[in-house]
Structure 1
Amino acid sequence: MQEEDILSEFRASQALLEGHFLLSSGRHSAYYLQCARVLMDPMRASRLASALAAKLPRDLRQQISKVVSPAMGGVIIGHEMGRALGVEAVFVERPTGTFELRRGFTLNPGEKVLMVEDVVTTGLSSREAILAVEEAGGVVVAEAALVDRSAGAVDLGVPFYPLVSLNFPTYAPDELPPALAAVPAIKPGSRAQP
């Protein structure tokens, strides 16, 4: 799957939006990416996961015995990556603010894990999820994500394989280009906005 094919999947599902958006960070952007929408269609999610799995080096794919993803955003793509790789997929969640395995999910000591996310921006949640896997006895050998929004700057401490990199400019409220300032801002996403 080529980059334009991937972006077509995002546009077809209305996951890649254009307008004026107030992001959860407080910054503004002319673009907004809502990965949950691209994963609504199981066939599309399967195609994207297969393309992402194909980006992993063959020797790495052979090491992986489990996929772990952070809840909520990574659950669907993590499950589909498990299917694409032929391994189990589980997730970590934050019932008390810190990622942990729950629901009877376990890792064997030294078990080789692929961390899977929908979007990586700063890498903070990925690093926290990797720590949870390590505390549970697993070894994260790499991370894969549908989208890298870090402009290639993220350091997760493990090899990182994004399906696509999307780097849209963002602006502080006092830096808005005139064309963007002329359009009312919309607060998208799943996080509560101030």
Structure 2
Amino acid sequence: MTDEEVLAEFRASKALLEGHFLLSSGRHSAHYLQCARVLMNPNRAARLAVALAARLPHDIRKQVGKVVSPAMGGVVIGQEMGRALQVDAMFVERPTGTFELRRGFALEPGDKVLLVEDVVTTGLSSREAIKAIEEAGGKVIAAVSLVDRSAGAAELGVPFFPLVALNFPTYAADELPPELAGTPAVKPGSRALS
């Protein structure tokens, strides 16, 4: 899938929003990607997962034994990546603020894990998920996401393969451009601010 084909999937599902948004990272943006919308159609989610799996180098793809994604945003694409790679998919969640495996999910010591995200902005959630996976005995060998919003700056500590990189500018609250400063920010995501 080309970048334009990926963006066409976001546009078709009305998942690419424009306005003034407060991101989970605490930064502001004139654009927001609502990945839940792009993934709500199972056929579209499967197409995106197959395209994402194809971005993985063959030597990494053949090593993946499990897929783990952070809840909530990564659950659907994580499940579809498990299907595309024909491996089990599970997720970590934050019942008390720190990622952990629950619901009977477990990793065997040394399991080679692919971390699957919907969007990476700063990389903080990914690093926290990787830490939880490794504490549970897994070895994260790579990470993928539908979208890299970090402008290539996210350092995850493992090879990272996004499906598409979108470099919409983000701003701290004290550096908003006039077109955003004059409008109230909407927090469209579901996660509390970091």
Query: What's the TM-score once normalised by structure 2's chain length?
Result: 0.91
Q: Determine whether 1:64 maps to 2:64.
A: yes
Give the Cα separation in 2 of the matches to 1:98 and 1:36.
22
Give per-residue Cα distances to partners, 1:158-178, cap 9 Å, x unaligned: 100000111111234454434
Structure 1 position 189, deviation (Å): 2.1
Task: For 1:120-131, list aligned pairs within 5 A.
Answer: 120-131=120-131
Counterpart in 2 of 1:34?
34
Give per-residue Cα distances to partners, 1:49-97, cap 9 Å, x unaligned: 0000000011111101110111111100000000000101011111122
Q: CA, structure 1 residues 153+105, in 2 after alignment: closer, same or farther (shift >3 Å)?
A: same
Tell which deviates more after alignment, 91-100 or 156-165.
91-100
Structure 1 position 41, deviation (Å): 0.6
Structure 1 position 35, deviation (Å): 0.9
Give percent identity, aligned residues only.
78
Give the Cα separation in 2 of the matches to 1:25 and 1:109.
32
Query: SS at 2:62's partner residue?
Result: helix
Counterpart in 1 of 2:187?
187
Structure 1 position 38, deviation (Å): 0.7
Are the aligned partners of 2:25 and 2:121 in contact in 1 as well (CA < 8 Å)? no
Query: SS at 1:63's partner residue?
Result: coil
Counterpart in 2 of 1:74?
74
Whichever of the two has the greater Rg, that structure is 1
Give the Cα separation in 2 of the matches to 1:160 and 1:45.
20
Give the Cα separation in 2 of the matches to 1:184 and 1:129.
31
Counterpart in 1 of 2:107?
107
Gaps of 5+ in 2: none
Matched length: 193
Give the Cα separation in 2 of the matches to 1:138 and 1:166.
30
Give the Cα separation in 1 of the matches to 2:180 and 2:40.
29
Query: SS at 1:8's partner residue?
Result: helix
Counterpart in 2 of 1:7?
7
Query: SS at 1:76's partner residue?
Result: helix
Give the Cα separation in 2 of the matches to 1:106 and 1:187.
33
CA RMSD of aligned residues (A): 1.8
Query: SS at 2:14's partner residue?
Result: coil
